[in-house]
Amino acid sequence: VLPDESADVINKIYNADTIIFGSPVYWWGVSAQLKMVIDKMYSKSEQFQEQKKKIGLVTVGADELKGPQYRIISEQMQCICEYLGWELVFSHPISAYEKTDVLNNSDELRKLGELWKKIS
């Protein structure tokens, strides 16, 4: 086992009532960094199963929203939530090819700014 800060992250997830996971889309999945956190959550899976958390998911990829990766990622998070007894409140995919695509999209920024209302 290599020392890292994952124990702190897992404890923050454990202590939170609500979590919004965000990730770029890499090879039809979440980033390796988020996947590592999810994998390490298994160390507390029994404790997590005793909690009722609300989960949000935001993914950003270069492909169009009809691309399969957004569905694949959302379905995987839904399976994780079902296993833990958590509620996936929303899965919000974003198509953005250029770095500034979201920043320059006022409609998308408005939607992102209102996601908390769905989960609170």
Which DSSP string corresponds to the chain? Answer: ----SHHHHHHHHHH-SEEEEEEE-BTTB--HHHHHHHHHHGGGHHHHHTS--EEEEEEEESS-TTSHHHHHHHHHHHHHHHHHT-EEEEEEEEE--STTTTTT-HHHHHHHHHHHHHH-
Is 3.40.50.360 the CATH number for 6-113? yes
Question: Which residues of the chain, if any, have pLDDT below 70?
Answer: 1-2
What is the Cα gyration radius of the chain?
A: 15
pTM (two decimals): 0.89
pLDDT of residue 116: 86
What φ, ψ does residue 47 adopt, rounded to 5°? -70, -40
Write down the pLDDT at residue 100.
93
